[in-house]
Structure formats: structure tokens, C-alpha cells
Amino acid sequence: MNNKIKVCLVTAGVERLPEGTAEAISEFADFRAKRCETPQALLETFPDAEVLWMFGPNLCLKPEALDNMPNVKALMRSGSGLDALPVDWAKSHGVGVYNTPESIAECVAEHAVALLISYARQIPQYNARAKAGYEWGKVEGMDWHLSRRTLGLVGYGCIARLVEKMVSGFGMKVIHHDPFQPDSVDLDELLAASDFVSVHCPLTPDTKGLIDARRLSLMKSNAILVNTSRGPVVDEDALADALDAGMIGGAAIDVMCEEPPDVNSRLLQHPKCIVTPHVAAFSCDFEKNFFSRSVEKLWAICVSLSDS
């Protein structure tokens, strides 16, 4: 590829990348990497960047720097979700925005299913009781059955589709709501019909607070809500209120509005809520999948830019 596209990683230096990753990118791009902790550092370090690549929190890809980087043609965030990127700025400047949801899709789907099963089978609760010497064989709280029940998926991208595949062995009826899918059901209808609801939509202005007090009131009184997408998609106070009132049966979440949350957070402390600390994307295969998919997406971006 002649006149290689300038690809700049702003999250870390090359020492953070798995062995061979920088070399693989350098085969098709003019690749540089350095951690930039402020917009000014970005502007000073990579003034001529064409593709800006990041993962984790966005410390520097801010409009005040990007406005002064006329060569930027694409922003890429490894992982799922684009909420960390200045999407509105990119749209107004004709800059492409990319991510790699497929790199973590299996892990997140597995975690969502694990949370669902853990709550439905009360695994954490019975583990704690067994270790505390609770009366052996005494049954309390076994109020759910997965097989042949209805699972509602809010969002129907690659993660949600894997969840559907993974629960197929339970013989569950799976319905989904996604405005970009023609065969989706109305969200209110989904919430009313589902025994279990798993949230997989991205965080956008339209989805912030999507699962609010009104929508929680539509759910079955024994329904379980699972959220592995983004915390702000669910109104946390409304969810805590719904759990307090017995409006729904329980919740299992991997994401919260504030991370890390206050130790006194109502959901963190709620007996009807299982919480994991935003770890759904991780497994022993994380590094391999995360960076190999990132290299593939960067290659595709560079080819597209070179051809345009």
C-alpha cells in the first residue's frame, strides 16, 4: 500500500500491545503510538494523524484538539460502544467512526447468560448460605425457571444474537426490540411479555434512561432485568424503586452510571440485585480477540481511505 495512512494509537505506547501487533499494523499503515492524557498532548504528539485509535477511557479525543487536526479521517475505538467518542463532532466533519464489538461479543454474551442463570438459580445467594452454615437443603427464593420461558433482548446486535444462540438449549422463546431491525417488537410489548429482559443496546441520546420507571412498571412482577450494555441505559433510581416495591423480581448488572459506584449505592447494596464490576468483556482470550480484531478493523479502514 503506497503512501501509508497515518494510524496513531493515543491510549498507550507500543509496549502495551501484544507481541507482533505493532508490526502487523505497520505492514499496511504508518503506525505510531503514545499515551496522550490531554487534548493538548494529542495535538502536539500527532498533529498529522489520519486515523486515531483508542481503547478504554477517552482522555484526549476532544473537539478542541480535533478541530485543529485537519487530516483526521477516522476515529476507531476498540471494543463495543461509541459513547466514549465525539460522534457528533465526527458526523459534522465527515469523519468516520468505528468500533470492534465482535472482539468482545462472545465474552459479553456469556456473561449476560451467566448473570441470568445466576440470578434465576440464586447461585450467589445459595453459595453464601452454604458457606455460612445455612440449613442444608432448605429452599428459599427459587422462584424462576428458564426453560420454555420468554427472553426479551433490548438491542439486537452481535452480542444479543449470541445470547439468543446460547440460550437456545433452554428452549426459550426469544423476542427482541431494535429500531434498526424490521422484525422487532415494540419495546413496551417486549417488556410486558418477557419473563427475563437482557439489555444490549448502545448508549446514545435516544437510549439514555430508556428503561425508566414507566417501562419498569410494564414488566412482569417476577421478571429479571440483566444489563451488560451501559449503566445509563437504565434509570438506576427507578430500578431500585422497582426492586423495593416488588415491581420486578430482580436485577443482575455489570454496568452502572457511576463507575466505580459509591459503596452505598442502592443497587450495589440491594439484596435483589447481583452486581459485577464491568468485567463482562474479559476472559483468557480477551487480549488475543481484542487486538486481532482491532488490527483487522484498522486494515479495513486504511484500505477504504486509500481507495477513496
* Alpha-carbon separation of residue 153 from 76, 100, 156 (angstroms): 27, 20, 7
Q: Per-residue pLDDT tens for 239-288?
A: 999 999 999 999 999 999 999 999 999 999 999 999 999 999 999 999 99
Average pLDDT over residues 119-131: 95
Average pLDDT over residues 61-74: 97
The domain spans of the chain are: 5-103+286-307, 105-275
Give the rounded distance of the alpha carbon of 263 from its chain centre. 22
Q: What is the pLDDT of residue 2?
A: 58
Task: Measure the CA dihedral 176/178/184/186, to 10°.
Answer: 90
Amino acid identity for residue 189 in this structure: E
Q: What class has domain 105-275?
A: alpha beta
Q: What is the pLDDT of residue 150?
A: 98
Reading the block at residue 170, the C-alpha cell is 433452554
Pairing of strands 150-154, 173-177: parallel
Average pLDDT over residues 66-86: 94
Q: Which residues are catalytic?
A: 230, 259, 278
pTM of the model: 0.90
Task: Measure the CA dihedral 254/258/260/264, to 10°.
Answer: -100
Average pLDDT over residues 195-203: 97
User: Is-same-fold flag (5-103+286-307; 105-275)?
Assistant: yes
Average pLDDT over residues 296-300: 97
* Alpha-carbon separation of residue 168 from 96, 163, 183 (angstroms): 36, 9, 19
Whether CATH 3.40.50.720 fits 5-103+286-307: yes
How much of the chain, in percent, has pLDDT values that exceed 70?
99
pLDDT classification of 308: cutoffs 50, 70, 90: confident
